[in-house]
Structure 1
Amino acid sequence: MKTVKELLDGKGHEYVTIAADASALEAAQMMAEKGIGSLMVMDDGQMVGLISERDITYKLVAAGGSPGDTPVRDIMSSHILCVTPDKTVDECMALMTDKRVRHLPATADGRIVGVISIGDAVKAVIADQQFIIEQLESYITS
């Protein structure tokens, strides 16, 4: 099974940040523009949270809030679950499922080295399973 490091090496280590005092509207626009589902929230160069499209939907829009008037810090998730690059994708999927989160920042030596999503994890599992299937088919037919 792939590790977080291997997954990030394949998909890229880039992640997108937003200031804690930016509006939820700015966050939504940035996610839409980049085609991503979460942003790392920074304040004075420190990671203080993570905001996802679900945070905006459930904590703001469904509650009748105004995205243009609400700062990211008011709706972000401030308790962030992080993983290390040596964790397996299976371990990450179990953690995401258990804690009901869709994005996990990966950290090494106190710094963010990338973010993996549940979609990234599912794709990695499917690729591993496809490889196993091909190997078994090859074994059976030879």
Structure 2
Amino acid sequence: MMTTVKQILEAKGSTFHAVRPTDSVFDALSLMAQFDIGCVLVTDSDKLVGIFTERDYARKVVLKGLVSRDVKVGDLMTPNPYTVGLTGTADDVMATMTAKRFRHIPVVEEGKVLGIVTIGDMVKSIVTQHEKTIKQLESYIAGDLAAE
């Protein structure tokens, strides 16, 4: 059985951190440093409008010589980010992350942000699923069908 995004959020928790488009990049970076995270969601009246990542900072602030206290998140965020729903599978999300080179994908259902999944969450989920499969196959080979 495939692991779903809903199961991943239930295991890891649905906590996410968000800033407003009018917040400074410095404030977003401070929040990211405080919680040791690689991105923040950008919301306006609880509606997801963008995502701001370490990559955005490195490429859009540092390389352009901007000052993080003077620049607003809304000016540098990735607008209208790709999202996934609760029924998405870990394999599908991992394939999307790999193909599109994403490290973070917000989880949204009916316009409401429910959390965020990361490349690390996907790897952990897939490794766990493979470990279960290996144990089932080992039990089958050993003739112990009841061990499932």
TM-score under structure 1 length normalisation: 0.92
| Structure 1 residue 63, shift from structure 2 partner | 2.1
| Structure 1 residue 138, shift from structure 2 partner | 2.7
Residue 100 (structure 1) aligns with: 101
User: Which of these two proteins has the greater Rg computed from alpha carbons?
Assistant: 2
Q: 2: CA distance between counterparts of 1:86 and 1:46? A: 20
Residue 87 (structure 2) aligns with: 86
Residue 30 (structure 2) aligns with: 29
| CA deviation string 1:83-103 (max 9, x = no partner) | 110010111111111222111
| Structure 1 residue 114, shift from structure 2 partner | 1.0
Q: 2: CA distance between counterparts of 1:62 and 1:122? A: 31
Residue 74 (structure 1) aligns with: 75
Which SS does the other structure have where 2:105 is aligned? strand
Structure 2 segments unaligned to the other structure (5+ residues) = 144-148
Q: In the alignment, residue 31 of structure 2 is paired with which amino acid?
A: M
Structure 1 segments unaligned to the other structure (5+ residues) = none
| Structure 1 residue 58, shift from structure 2 partner | 1.5
Residue 146 (structure 2) aligns with: none
Q: Percent identity?
A: 37
Residue 133 (structure 1) aligns with: 134
| CA deviation string 1:14-54 (max 9, x = no partner) | 11111111111111111111121111112233221111111
Shift >3 Å, 4+ stretches: none
Q: In the alignment, residue 125 of structure 2 is paired with which amino acid?
A: A
| CA deviation string 1:61-120 (max 9, x = no partner) | 122221121111111000310111001011111111122211111111221111101111
Residue 46 (structure 1) aligns with: 47
Query: What is the alpha-carbon root mean square deviation over aligned residues?
Result: 1.4
